[in-house]
């Protein structure tokens, strides 16, 4: 992944370089990244994360240290945990980007199919809520997607998804005690899917064990870039 990022640097319009505020000096890894940024000669925004863990004078020293290394478009202290600088980051990104060709209509939100949106959203929630060793061994499949009406005659998507995992022990973790974890995954996923689709969603989730799914090309190819 790191090598891919380095190779892509020459083709991008803007680079976001993230470091930790707890750093006292420019480490070996960050030095390598800085050299790649200098070689690419691209607009770069420096994001200093975890500012909630350091004092103001330490932060100022770090900003001065990095500012001597490269002419950044902006240096933004942030706390990903608190998420209070999201708008500032987006505003600075927008300032650095120029207008390009219009590939989609204004009303087009995404070029992904609804099935893909559902599957990626459910998997995203699993990544956030489950233990580290489980999410990378799961994939999500939409098994039912049908638009209908509620009792109040409002449009609603009736969706069923199956979460496949590789081990019986993982199935238990995904479901949780009395189904608590699966309910949380489904609840958070449904909320995001409703926001994306702009309509109500009835989401049903199931969990099954499929130990050898990573050996099936038709499944693995879905995770590759461009598919």
Helix, strand and coil in the chain, % to nearest 5: 45, 20, 30
When the pLDDT of each residue in the chain is averaged and rounded to a whole number, the result is 86
Distance from C-alpha of 183 to C-alpha of 204, rounded to nearest angstrom:
9
Cβ atoms of residues 23 and 52 within 8 Å: no
Question: In the structure, how many helices (H) and strands (E) does the chain have?
Answer: 8, 6
- Predicted pLDDT of residue 227: 40
Residues 65-124: pLDDT tens digits?
A: 999 999 999 999 999 888 888 899 999 999 998 887 776 666 555 556 888 899 999 999
189 close to 204: Cβ distance less than 8 angstroms: no
pLDDT of residue 95: 93
In the prediction, which pLDDT does 4 show?
Answer: 79
* pLDDT for residue 215: 62
Round to whole Å and give the CA distance between 49 and 78.
5
Q: What is the pLDDT of residue 138?
A: 85
Q: What is the pLDDT of residue 9?
A: 83
Which residues, 6+ apart, have CB-to-CB distance to 70 below 8 Å? 34, 37, 38, 44, 46
pLDDT at res. 3: 78
Residues of the chain with pLDDT under 50: 223-227
Buried b / exposed e across 163-182, counting CB within 10 Å, b at 16+? bbbbeeebbebbbeeeeebb
């Amino acid at each position: 992944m790191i090598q891919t990022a380095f190779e892509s640097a020459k083709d991008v319009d803007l680079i976001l370089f993230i470091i930790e505020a707890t750093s006292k000096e420019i480490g070996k890894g960050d030095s390598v990244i800085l050299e790649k940024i200098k070689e690419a000669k691209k607009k770069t925004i420096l994001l200093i994360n975890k500012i909630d863990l350091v004092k103001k004078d330490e932060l100022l020293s770090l900003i001065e240290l990095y500012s001597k290394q490269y002419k950044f478009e902006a240096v933004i202290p942030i706390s990903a945990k608190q998420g209070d600088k999201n708008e500032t980051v987006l505003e600075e990104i927008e300032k650095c980007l120029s207008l390009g060709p219009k590939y989609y209509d204004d009303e087009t939100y995404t070029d992904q199919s609804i099935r893909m949106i559902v599957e990626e959203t459910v998997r995203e929630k699993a990544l956030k809520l489950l233990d580290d060793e489980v999410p990378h061994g799961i994939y999500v499949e939409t098994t039912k997607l049908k638009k209908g009406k509620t009792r109040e005659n409002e449009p609603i998507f009736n969706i069923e998804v199956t979460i496949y995992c590789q081990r019986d022990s993982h199935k238990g973790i995904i479901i949780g005690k009395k189904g608590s974890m699966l309910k949380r995954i489904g609840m958070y996923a449904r909320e995001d899917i409703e926001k994306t689709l702009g309509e109500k969603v009835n989401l049903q989730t199931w969990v099954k064990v499929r130990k050898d799914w990573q050996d099936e090309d038709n499944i693995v190819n879905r995770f590759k870039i461009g598919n």
